[in-house]
Structure 1
Amino acid sequence: MRADDIARYLQDHPQFFEDYHDLLAQLYVPHPHGGRTISITERQILTLREKAKALELKLTELLRFGEDNDLISTRVHALSVALLTAGSFDALMNVLREQLAEAFAVPQLALRLWNSVLTRDSDVFAPVEERIRVFANDAKHPYCGPVNDLGVVAWFGDAAPSVQSIALIPLRRESRIVGLLALGSDDPARFVSDMGTLYLERIGELLGASLIRELG
């Protein structure tokens, strides 16, 4: 008889140990963390403790994620209020830079807009290569990861050589892409491909709506 057969038999016949209850007191198994043997009851208690510890660690992790999300949500709300109260395009850009640098620890920021009714004397309205526009139009979600070959990193100017990871957030006017927000960091792990993009999308929506108000 194989071990699998024994295990299956015990699972299918739970009354076995009721019929042979004295056997439980005579069975000993190896201790999971040592060479000695312990009773089955002790082994079950150890297993339950290990499961309880694993659940406790998981709960702690979930609570930490919840606290992190609450903090990010609060910062996004503060950003939205600041954007809404900015009285001009220049004030809006200053608010955006300050909030992202201070509240979100994003050291580098660049923005490009196209198809705007109004323009300003700013790099924000500098010509954008067609391949970048195509990328923004085709993107379903913000791009997060290492510096890619689009050439967007050049938007960061003198800081470009130090940028190791980027986030690219398309900006929309209704269903139409009208610009791209680029965030950069010298930390290669700051923006990674498997990170959540929900809050980045919300920042893009907030900025897009604020820009429409100022520029049409």
Structure 2
Amino acid sequence: MSLTTPTSGIPPITEDDIADYLANTPDFFVRHAQLLASVQLSSPHGHRAVSLQERQAEMLREKIKALEHRIMDMVRHGNDNVIIADRLHRWARNIMLVRSRHALPASIASELMTQFMVPQVGIKVWDVAPRFSDEPFATGVSDDAKSFASSLTQPYCGVNSGFEAVNWLDDTAMAMSVALLPLRDGALNNASKAFGMLVLASPDPQRFSAGMGTDFLERIAELASAALSRLRDE
């Protein structure tokens, strides 16, 4: 925006010129201190005019309020993470205490439901030792489902799009959102084939959403994989 009418050969002074001058002349308001008291600005909280000092104070209060909200969010998220970490600890401790390998998959599923309040959990494991091959948790999985599990390098979270794995649940109609966790040796994101998959489901369409963080789900998958690796030994 030009503040003067252009004259021949003299460029107009713009708002940017004034802003640059003030930014590069920090002692301007020292020499003209009376301007600080006389400059009037519009207040964002109504139509009244306020002094420059009052406007600066308002801006500072707004920044402080925004920082307070951010701190409260950080505290709330920190508390939430502590609660989830405690549940993860109890879940891991309880499945480590399971002595029967036959009971291990069902124990993992039931503990997930109890500790994390997940309405439904399904689990299947394949490539198990022959003594476990006829167990319900080791049967009824197609090659397509196995390939799909191997293709996942992180948990899938989102709506139920007709995944075969949802049929492992007791009530498929109530699986509106799901989390699918591949089970494999080592880190969840390595290139090895999956030897199983966990299905977590909820009637709440937003319980497992595409944009949710999956850090704790990844830890659940890796811990479950480590525990279930016992089913592959004779």
The TM-score bracket by the shorter chain reads: over 0.9
Query: Please, which moves more after superposition, 116-125 or 166-175?
Result: 116-125
Letter in 1 for 2:168: W
When you count helix as a share of all residues, which structure comes out higher? 1
Q: Which amino acid aligns with 1:204?
A: A
Counterpart of 1:201 in structure 2 is 218
Rounded to whole Å, the distance in 2 between the matches of 1:134 and 1:9 is: 66
> Structure 1 CA distance, aligned partners of 2:76 and 2:35?
46
Quick one: distance in 1 between partners of 2:37 and 2:197? 71
SS of the aligned residue for 1:167 comes to strand
Q: Please, which moves more after superposition, 167-176 or 75-84?
A: 167-176
Distance 2:111 2:162 in 1: 28
Is the Cα contact below 8 Å between 1:88 and 1:214 reproduced in 2?
no
In the TM superposition, residue 27 of structure 1 has moved relative to its aligned partner by: 0.6
RMSD over equivalenced CA pairs, Å? 1.7
Superposed, which structure 2 residues align to 1:1-216 within 5 Å?
Answer: 1-118=13-130, 119=132, 121-157=134-170, 159-174=171-186, 175-216=192-233
Corresponding letter in the other structure for 2:139:
A
Kept in 1, the 8 Å contact 2:110–2:121? The answer is no
- Structure with the greater alpha carbon radius of gyration: 2
Maintained 8 Å contact 2:127/2:232: no
Provide the C-alpha distance between the structure 1 equivalents of 2:136 and 2:15, rounded to a whole number of angstroms: 72
Deviation string for 1:160-210 (max 9, x for gaps)?
A: 012110000011134441101011000011001111111111111111111
- Closer, same or farther in 2 for the Cα pair 1:85/1:182, shift >3 Å? same
Deviation digits for residues 103-140 of structure 1, max 9, x if unmatched? 21101111111111141644311232222222211211
The residue type paired with residue 43 of structure 2 is: H
SS in 2 for 1:177: coil
User: Percent identity, aligned pairs only?
Assistant: 38
Aligned positions, number:
215
Contact 2:149 2:182 in 1 (8 A): yes
Matched residues in 1 for 2:37 and 2:95: separation?
Answer: 71
Cα distance, 1:107–1:126 mapped onto 2, change above 3 Å: same
Contact 2:128–2:231 under 8 Å retained in 1: no
Q: Which residue identity lines up with residue 64 of structure 1 in the other structure?
A: R
Structure 2 vs 1, CA of residues 78 and 29 (structure 1 numbering), >3 Å: closer, same or farther? Answer: same
Quote how far apart the aligned CAs of 1:99 are: 2.2
1:93 Cα offset (Å): 3.5
Amino acid at match of 1:199: F
Q: Distance in 2 between matches of 1:15 and 1:7?
A: 14
Contact 1:143–1:168 under 8 Å retained in 2: yes
